[in-house]
């Protein structure tokens, strides 16, 4: 399939794997890229420019296809060395960057000069327009369904995507709640030129996370996510578990007095314990409502091939039949 997104990133299929903390290692990115999508290494998980440079080199050993790096600008306890990370990306010859969390204008000129294409992840039309105006090449429009940080507007993709299509000139992908060929065709119908998936890619053979995480996603339904940190205006959609229920209890108890320190035990530093050790009640971890649509653990190639075959069948079969009727 050819869209402005496949052209922009030089990929075969219009499918991107969004940056994911403690998931987006070289193994994940390479598997997605080898399957014809755009795999993404998560910069902040590596933390230092040296470790990111090493991860980029490892990924290059595993694939000769294009892959990208995610740079997330979020309130973190210790500010990362962003200039160093930008340099590691450029020096590593990476040609695609997914930015997220905050306006990327400070890093954009460096990427532009180096010929790196930037796709900025946004949860609203106004932020998408801002991204376009500062020179981003594309946008990843992340609806309220998404795993991770859906922003504070709560607009689901059924509204957000056509709204983005009405306003944007640069190409965009649909993100949040995407799982299969139906998601891809629906996204294309609403004006997107591809889709970005997070949660779906965690439940794959190559995802470098503990088996418990994959099993938890397969076992979960669409009712099993919760929104946390809303009182801090840093809302995150996570999989429910004992720690999350305790976090929500604390949020309710503290009300508007809630401070980050009150919930630090449930949110800070928990990712390695969950993703690497498989301790599923260690804390809050991002997960999308799309878990309700995930019931197997295929390879990335099986998943992407299946999505593309299903999309083709819908377009040339199911939809064409409606038209003929
Ligand atoms: C476990 C997990 C960790 C994530 N970490 C990040 C991150 O560090 N930076 C980022 O920009 N997005 C992050 N995301 C969001 C994804 O890149 C993607 O936008 C989102 O998962 C899309 O929604 P979906 O899960 O419904 O596919 C994360 C998502 C998950 C599930």
Number of independent structural domains in the chain: 2
In a domain, 298, yes or no: no
pLDDT of residue 282: 97
Residues 273 and 158 in one domain: no
Q: What is the pLDDT of residues 282-305, one digit of tens each?
A: 999 999 999 999 999 999 999 999
Domain that holds residue 233: 225-286
Q: What is the pLDDT of residues 177-220, one digit of tens each?
A: 999 999 999 999 999 999 999 999 999 999 999 999 999 999 99
Residues 135 and 281 in one domain: no
Q: Is it the case that residue 138 has pLDDT exceeding 90? A: yes
pLDDT of residue 77: 66
In a domain, 38, yes or no: yes
How far is the centre of ligand 1, averaged over its atoms, from the C-alpha of 287 (Å)?
A: 8
Q: What is the pLDDT of residues 23-66, one digit of tens each?
A: 999 999 999 999 999 999 999 999 999 999 999 999 999 999 99
pLDDT of residue 324: 78
How far is the centre of ligand 1, averaged over its atoms, from the C-alpha of 229 (Å)?
A: 16
The pTM of this model reads 0.98
Boundary residue ending a domain (181, 208, 235): 208
Residues 120 and 199 in one domain: yes
Q: Is it the case that residue 325 has pLDDT exceeding 70? A: no
Pocket of ligand 1 (CB under 6 A): 18-21, 23, 42, 70, 72, 100, 121, 142, 145-148, 175-178, 196-200, 285-288, 290
Q: What is the pLDDT of residues 76-95, one digit of tens each?
A: 667 899 999 999 999 999 99
3-state secondary structure the chain: CCCHHHHHHCCCCCEEECCCCCCCCHHHHHHHHHCCCEEEEEHHHHCCHHHHHHHHHHHHHHCCCCEEEEEECCCCCCCCCHHHHHHHHHHCCCCEEEEECCCCCCCHHHHHHCCCEEEEEECCHHHHHHHHHHCCCEEEEECCCCCECCCCCCCCHHHHHHHHHHHCCCCEEEECCCCCHHHHHHHHHCCCCCEEECHHHHCCCCCCCCHHHHHHHHHCCCCCEEEECHHHCCCEEEECCHHHHHHHHHHHHHHHHCCHHHHHHHHCCCHHHHHHCCCCCCCCCECCHHHHHCCCCCCHHHHHHHHHHHHHHHHHHHHHHHHHC
In a domain, 25, yes or no: yes
Q: Percentage of the chain surpassing pLDDT 70?
A: 99
Residues 241 and 143 in one domain: no
Q: Is it the case that residue 74 has pLDDT exceeding 80? A: no
In ligand 1, which atom is closest to the CA atom of 179?
27
């Amino acid at each position: 399939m050819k869209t402005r997104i496949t052209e922009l990133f030089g990929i075969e299929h219009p499918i991107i794997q969004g940056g994911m903390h403690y998931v987006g290692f070289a193994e994940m990115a390479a598997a997605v890229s080898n399957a014809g999508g755009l795999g993404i290494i998560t910069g902040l998980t590596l933390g230092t420019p040296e470790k990111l440079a090493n991860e980029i080199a490892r990924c290059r050993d595993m694939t000769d296809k294009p892959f990208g790096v995610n740079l997330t600008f979020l309130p973190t306890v210790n500010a990362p060395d962003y200039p160093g990370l930008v340099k590691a990306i450029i020096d590593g010859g990476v040609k695609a960057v997914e930015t997220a969390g905050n306006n990327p204008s400070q890093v954009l000129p460096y990427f532009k000069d180096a010929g790196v294409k930037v796709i900025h992840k946004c949860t609203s039309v106004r932020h998408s327009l801002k991204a376009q105006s500062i020179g981003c090449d594309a946008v990843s429009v992340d609806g309220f369904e998404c795993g991770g940080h859906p922003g504070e507007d709560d607009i689901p993709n059924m509204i957000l995507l056509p709204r983005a299509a009405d306003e944007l000139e640069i190409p965009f992908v649909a993100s949040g709640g995407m799982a299969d060929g139906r998601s891809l065709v629906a996204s294309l119908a609403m004006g997107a030129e591809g889709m970005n998936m997070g949660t779906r890619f965690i439940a794959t053979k190559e995802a470098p996370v503990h088996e418990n995480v994959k099993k938890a996603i397969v076992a979960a339904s669409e009712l099993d996510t919760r929104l946390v940190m809303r009182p801090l205006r840093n809302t995150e959609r996570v999989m429910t578990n004992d720690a999350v229920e305790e976090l929500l209890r604390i949020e309710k108890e503290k009300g508007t007095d809630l401070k980050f320190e009150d919930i630090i035990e449930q949110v800070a530093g928990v990712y390695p314990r969950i993703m690497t050790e498989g301790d599923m009640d260690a804390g809050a971890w991002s997960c999308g409502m799309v878990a309700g649509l995930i019931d197997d653990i295929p390879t990335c190639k099986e998943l992407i091939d299946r999505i593309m075959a299903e999309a083709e069948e819908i377009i040339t079969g199911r939809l064409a039949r409606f038209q003929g009727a």
